[in-house]
């Protein structure tokens, strides 16, 4: 409830500043930091992608600004209402709530969702609140299992007692209370099928870890869940993805933050995560050579981009991975380990890598 009031106050403060300008008959404006690569840099100390201090102003009496100005104010007002009602909306909901014709004109306040999406990102910058704190939720997706007990919306939930399904991770994990965390570390994987494999083999019980998955891209809800467990309970996090540029980038986003959400790095990036696999050395070692898949053009160009990223540029281990992938001209999937037996990953690959601490930082 405190957090809710704090967020509401931030939005009210924004409104008051605008009203004050109007009362003084001055041109109202909103000020926030410029987003985009030109204002993004890699901070070597915090090891996060961070947004620079270049500022942009948006004035009401400026033909190029006034529509965006209105949109931002409208979305701020929608968020304030959400906070007052104590209800969460999706990005799509916010779009429909903002979508209407400006009175006495034929102009719609917004025509496409990307306009309200942008306004919400702007509001994150202006207010320093995450969109989750403004009660706008990301996509819900993913499951978790492990020796952890939580309280959520008044329900006591034991992640270790949820059968084959596990707990469905909500889009917003800000209000979850961790009651007991017995697990010692987290393995995050990009594939649901691997999660089901490891869960059936009771890997979380044998290794006393938490297994987390989404499907493909890591949602904001999951990133925040990982970060909270990392920061509040000091749990190491290991990332398990395919050996391909997209898998590497999943790791990169979780660890350093993403370019488009650089302003959110403090709330989202987890500098301590480590990459567990699949790495180039595994291919020889675990006999995956026969199961390599040729890199396609998209893979190759993505790989070239990754090599040059500031945060990978001076990292010898990662440069070695990129180089070996280029030399092989191939990628490999986690599931290729199944060729060695369905539970090879649970009984051999994971325990061995974790015991020997074969991680990339």
Structure tokens at 60: 């009401």
Q: Does 343 bind a second copy (CB under 8 A)?
A: yes
Select the residue interacting with a second copy from 46, 192, 217, 315 (CB under 8 A). 192
Least Å distance, CB 240 to a second copy, is 15
Report, in angstroms and rounded to the nearest whole number, the Rg of the chain calculated over CA atoms: 23
User: If you search the block for the tokens 């596990």, which residue do you land on?
Assistant: 166
User: If you search the block for the tokens 């490891």, which residue do you land on?
Assistant: 198
Select the residue interacting with a second copy from 84, 179, 200, 310 (CB under 8 A). 200
Q: Does 85 bind a second copy (CB under 8 A)?
A: yes
Q: Which CB, 43 or 117, lies closer to a second copy?
A: 117
Q: Does 266 bind a second copy (CB under 8 A)?
A: no
Q: Which CB, 71 or 143, lies closer to a second copy?
A: 143
Q: Does 168 bind a second copy (CB under 8 A)?
A: yes
Q: Which CB, 176 or 259, lies closer to a second copy?
A: 176
C-beta of residue 83 within 8 angstroms of C-beta of residue 32 = no
Q: Does 46 bind a second copy (CB under 8 A)?
A: no
Q: Does 260 bind a second copy (CB under 8 A)?
A: no
CB under 8 A, 24+ apart: contacts of 348-353: 349/277, 349/282, 349/286, 350/187, 350/198, 350/203, 350/207, 350/240, 350/276, 351/206, 351/207, 353/276, 353/277
Q: Does 166 bind a second copy (CB under 8 A)?
A: yes
From 96, 256, 286, 309, the catalytic residue: 96
Select the residue interacting with a second copy from 139, 217, 315, 319 (CB under 8 A). 139
Show the DSSP H helices in the chain as ranges. Answer: 2-23, 66-85, 91-98, 113-127, 192-200, 203-206, 220-233, 245-256, 265-268, 280-285, 297-308, 310-313, 316-328, 344, 350-355
Q: Which CB, 8 or 65, lies closer to a second copy?
A: 8
Q: Does 12 bind a second copy (CB under 8 A)?
A: no
Q: Does 290 bind a second copy (CB under 8 A)?
A: yes
Q: Which CB, 46 or 81, lies closer to a second copy?
A: 81
By rule CB under 8 A, what string of x and - marks binding of each residue 63-82 to a second copy? -------------------x
Q: Does 163 bind a second copy (CB under 8 A)?
A: yes
Q: How many residues does the chain have?
A: 361
Q: Does 178 bind a second copy (CB under 8 A)?
A: no
Select the residue interacting with a second copy from 206, 342, 352, 361 (CB under 8 A). 342
Distance CA(286)–CA(348), nearest Å, equals: 10
Count CB neighbours of 326 within 10 A: 14
Catalytic residue check, 96:
yes
Q: Which CB, 225 or 273, lies closer to a second copy?
A: 225
Distance CA(245)–CA(305), nearest Å, equals: 9
Q: Does 149 bind a second copy (CB under 8 A)?
A: no
CB under 8 A, 24+ apart: contacts of 70-73: 70/102, 70/109, 71/98, 71/109, 71/110, 71/115, 71/116, 71/118, 71/119, 72/30, 72/119, 72/122, 72/123, 72/126, 73/15, 73/18, 73/30
- Sites for a second copy among residues 213-232 (CB under 8 A): 215
Structure tokens at 86: 């104590």
Q: Of the ranges 169-177, 247-255, 258-266, 303-311, which one interacts with a second copy (CB under 8 A)?
A: 169-177
Distance CA(334)–CA(191), nearest Å, equals: 9
Q: How many residues bind a second copy (CB under 8 A)?
A: 59
Q: Residues interacting with a second copy, by CB under 8 A? A: 82, 85, 87-90, 92-93, 95-97, 99-101, 137, 139-143, 150-157, 161-172, 176, 192-193, 195-197, 200-201, 215, 290-291, 333, 335-339, 342-343
Enumerate the active-site residues.
Answer: 96
């Amino acid at each position: 409830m405190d957090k809710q009031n704090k967020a509401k106050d931030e939005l009210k403060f924004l409104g008051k500043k605008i009203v004050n300008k109007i009362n003084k008959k001055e041109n109202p404006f909103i000020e926030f930091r410029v987003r985009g690569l030109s204002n993004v840099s890699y901070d070597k100390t915090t090891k996060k992608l961070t947004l620079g201090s270049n500022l942009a102003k948006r004035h009401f009496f400026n033909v190029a600004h006034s529509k965006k100005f209105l949109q931002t104010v409208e979305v701020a007002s929608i968020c304030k209402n959400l906070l007052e009602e104590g209800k969460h909306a999706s990005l799509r909901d916010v779009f429909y709530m903002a979508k209407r014709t400006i009175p006495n004109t034929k102009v719609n306040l917004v025509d496409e969702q990307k306009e309200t999406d942008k306004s919400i990102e702007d509001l994150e910058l202006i207010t320093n609140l995450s969109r989750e704190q403004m009660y706008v939720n990301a996509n819900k997706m993913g499951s978790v299992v492990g020796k952890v007990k939580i309280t959520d919306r008044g329900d006591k939930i034991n992640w270790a007692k949820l059968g084959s399904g596990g707990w469905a991770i909500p889009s917003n994990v800000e209000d979850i209370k961790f009651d007991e965390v017995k697990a010692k570390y987290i393995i995050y994987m990009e594939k649901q099928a691997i999660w089901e494999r490891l869960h059936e083999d009771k890997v979380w019980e044998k290794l006393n870890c938490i297994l987390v998955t989404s499907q493909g891209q890591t949602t904001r809800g999951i990133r925040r869940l990982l970060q909270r467990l990392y920061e509040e309970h000091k749990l190491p996090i290991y990332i398990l993805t395919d050996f391909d540029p997209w898998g590497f980038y999943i790791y990169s986003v979780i660890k350093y933050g993403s370019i488009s959400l650089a302003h959110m790095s403090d709330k989202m990036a987890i500098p301590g995560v480590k990459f567990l696999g699949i790495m180039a050395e595994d291919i020889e070692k675990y006999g995956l050579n026969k199961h390599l898949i040729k890199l396609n053009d998209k893979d190759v160009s993505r790989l070239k981009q990754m090599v040059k990223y500031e945060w990978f540029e001076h990292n010898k281990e990662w440069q070695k991975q990129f180089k070996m992938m280029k030399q092989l001209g191939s990628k490999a999937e986690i599931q290729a380990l199944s060729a060695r037996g369905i539970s090879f990953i649970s009984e051999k690959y994971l325990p061995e890598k974790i015991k020997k601490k074969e991680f990339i930082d």
